[in-house]
A and B are shown apart, each in its own frame.
Chain A
């Protein structure tokens, strides 16, 4: 049974009498121990998807539709209390900004312990021992000393490790990391990524890695999901997607990456901007920027079709090409 099965996930916001759906028709699956990279430009809905899976959308006033099956249960149908038990225990979330994600007036060690005590029902001392163990596993230097520190006394990399420690403390089955390394410098980034790789390999934790950095995805992920303007446009095994991207957007993204040995000259960029949620065009949302746009792309929205090997793509051009083969 899959670890996570997301079907037709959509999120809706209403403000000033207008309703928008920043993400819709998101469907993908994850197996235990798998690393899925969710990639897209800023504003494509990656964080929103993560929040929706975690049940955090109502917090910001949104409504969620669709199905999120985790461990056999539909998370969206759980009560607030049941979801609280899932959050931080079975599914852990690492939010976007390690610099500001920790409570400034509590010691970091205590913040780890808090989660442990809540979900594992340990007493103070057992929880502290466990917290120190976890900190060691995450290669935090001098765990006993760091335990007593306050967030402002730690570097960005250390803070991120603490946030990860909070996340994995209760042995989650799934870890969702929202841009975990964007705010950190490159060397630290590499360390954190290595950490993630270890966690998934050694502990069998599934990892949903949200990022806009294709390089990171290439290093760590087994599968990739490409988001554009709130829609899932391509999904599949990392190697096949990188080698043979099926969706024009994916192709364009991969083209944008500079590589050693390329000709000197201008870098390719994708013309235009990602449409905002209150301004999605009719038809395929990429139609304004797609080099292969056809008549049907403007009038109809392509559906996600299943391909061999579990891959998926939503594109009329691809459908046409496949039909003619």
Chain B
């Protein structure tokens, strides 16, 4: 089991390398550069050249990449060209906000999605099924920022339960997390439903009924546990997506976070920041998948044996 974990962890290294190269290349494909943001009107070409050299942007791309990688390996993610701060500092400042949002949203997606999925499968093709599915799908049918705005309209403006913007306390976390969480709930509900229905038609369910167990026990204890596997798989991937997708929510709610940091940096072509944030978010998805695989391997006794 542990050898499996070790092997998978080692794979992360080449993946990281490839992603860093791809991201680097993509960023530099974007027209424009950060120097334009720094220069005021009336600057000369000489000023421009000076600034370029100062930030090492006059070197060829592979050389720039090399410098970046060397710096990264020694723990230095570079300096933001625009903000003039170490990128590492910026990320660590923004990380907790995004992480909180991400985790709470994930929890909402998970619980809401699973509940709706189970209800919908247990009451298949009845009104309850339809209603549950439509509720679940609502999150998928509209952009998260729209949900966020509507939530603000109802709960902040009209009811005054939650603040419109800001960060720092739990209240600030609720509406944004719900807005993002609803989106994930739909996908999870759908997968849960399909998985449950598949399990319900399996042979072992017959013996469970023959044992005299109630429908309630059968569905919640046995069928659900079996149906959980594909759901777990999806969950790991969701975390990364949520972190990335949180960008619009952070803007709507004026929350600090990796997403909004990335966006601002992108507009200003602040290469080091964009590089670091993108890699971070992508690796989050990959690590999420990795952790999920491990959990999956552990949770399913059949898979567990293969890796012993």
Contact = CB atoms under 8 A, between A and B. Distances in A.
User: Are A and B in direct contact (Cβ within 8 Å)?
Assistant: yes
Interface of A: 54, 56, 59, 81, 84-89, 92-93, 95, 97, 100-106, 114-115, 118-119, 150, 152-153, 163, 166
Interface in B151-206: 202-204, 206
Interface string B208-223: 1111111000000010
6 contacts: A92-B210, A101-B204, A103-B208, A104-B302, A119-B212, A153-B305
Determine chain B's interface SS by DSSP, over half rule: helix
Contacts of B302: 104, 150, 152
Contacts of B225: 105-106
A115 B211 contact: yes
A93 B206 CA distance: 10
A100 B203 contact: yes
Contacts of B89: none
Contacts of A89: 212
A130 to B, nearest CB: 15
A150 B204 contact: no
B294 to A, nearest CB: 17
A118 B213 contact: yes
Given A84-B214, A103-B204, A105-B225, A150 B209 contact: no
B206 A56 contact: yes
Contact of B210 (A56, A118, A152, A153): A56
B211 A95 contact: no
Given A87-B209, A101-B207, A150-B305, 15 more contacts: A84-B212, A84-B213, A87-B212, A88-B211, A93-B210, A95-B210, A100-B202, A102-B207, A103-B208, A104-B204, A104-B302, A105-B226, A150-B301, A152-B301, A163-B207
B202 to A, nearest CB: 7
Contacts of A97: 203
A218 B301 CA distance: 41
B58 interface: no
B222 A87 contact: no
A152 B304 CA distance: 11
Nearest to A153: B305
B212 A59 contact: no
B211 A166 contact: yes
B47 interface: no
Contact of B300 (A59, A86, A105, A118): A105
B207 A166 contact: yes
A118 B218 CA distance: 13
B210 A106 contact: no
Contact of B222 (A85, A92, A106, A163): A106
